[in-house]
Amino acid sequence: MPAKIFYCVRCREKKSVEKYDEIIMRSGMKALKTSCPECGTQMYRIVGKRHLKVKA
């Protein structure tokens, strides 16, 4: 799978991760889940439509 950028709140850095799982959150939104390759903290990235830059 193509590498995706995740943000690790513990390292406070963006990480490029190639291995991640696709999950559906309780709200029904699709997200990607992985863990930081350095510290192991779980990282999520929402990929649903609501993630568009509307709120930014």
Q: Contact region for Zn ion (CB under 5 A) — 17-25, 32-40, 47-55? A: 32-40
In the complex, the smallest distance separating the C-beta of residue 35 from Zn ion, rounded to whole angstroms, is 8
Residue 1, CA atoms < 13 Å, CB-side half-sphere: 12
CA atoms within 13 A on the CB side of 42: 5
- Interface with Zn ion in residues 33-52 (CB under 5 A): 36, 38-39, 41
Q: Report the residue number, 11 or 47, with the smaller CB distance to Zn ion.
A: 11
Nearest to 6 by CA among 25, 20, 27, 26: 20
Return the range that interacts with Zn ion (CB under 5 A); candidates 6-14, 21-29, 45-53: 6-14
